[in-house]
Structure 1
Amino acid sequence: MSLSALGNSTSAVEVTNISTHGVWLLAHDRELFMPYDNFPWFKEQPVSAIVNVEEQSPGHFYWPELDVDLTEEIIEHPERFPNVAHST
């Protein structure tokens, strides 16, 4: 009997952790942290909505259930984008 290796992941992006401080996103072997202070749209949302993320194009992520789209640059450098909308 031989065992075949598991296939490659079909998703290039996934949420790896949700905590009281924020959300961790794994994209192309890079982990990105989104603290709720900078990304309030994720706070108090259902886990199912947060983990449902799509990569629309390289480095451009979309959460359809939350109608939130962010780029890798925004996630890595939120200070460059000071006009953060606040969730209601």
Structure 2
Amino acid sequence: MLGISTSAAEVTNISRHGFWMLLGDEELFLPFDEFPWFKAASVAAITEVEWPSPEHLYWPVLDVDLSVASIRHPERFPLKSRI
């Protein structure tokens, strides 16, 4: 039987170029050029992130859903926001 996961997604740093997230023992960078939904967001909105499944992240304040694969390999997901 599987136990309840105690891991959480954590934003570890924000710069003018993007932000870093810790997912378990993996750290990922989300550049604002690739993920423009976050560029004008507040620190509070960026740091309020949910990790409902191993391959899915959700920012409720921003109503942004992302697959973890799109962060690891943004070149495989060419669709961009028109913001």
State the TM-score, normalizing by the size of structure 1: 0.83
Moved over 3 A (4+): none
Residue in structure 2 matched with residue 75 of structure 1 by the alignment: 71
For residues 38-49 of structure 1, the aligned pairs below 5 Å read 38-49=34-45
Q: Which runs of 5+ in 2 are unaligned?
A: 1-5
Aligned-pair CA distance for 1:41: 0.5
Q: Secondary structure at the match of 1:50?
A: helix
The structure that has the greater radius of gyration is 1
Report the RMSD for the aligned CA atoms in angstroms. Answer: 1.1
Query: TM-score of the superposition, structure 2-length normalised?
Result: 0.87
Identity of aligned residues (%): 60
| Contact 2:9-2:22 at 8 Å conserved across structures | yes
Partner of 2:58: 62
Shift of 1:11: 4.2
Structure 1 stretches lacking a partner, 5+ long:
1-9
Contact (CA 8 Å) 2:22, 2:28: kept in 1 or not?
yes
Residue 32 (structure 1) aligned to one of 28, 33, 38: 28
Structure 2 residue matching 1:34: 3-state secondary structure: strand
Are 1:22 and 2:27 counterparts?
A: no
2:7–2:24 CA contact under 8 A, matched in 1:
no
Indicate the SS of the match to 2:79.
coil
CA-to-partner distance for each residue in 1:32-62, whole Å, 9 max, x for gaps? 0000110001102111000000012112100
Give aligned pairs, total: 78
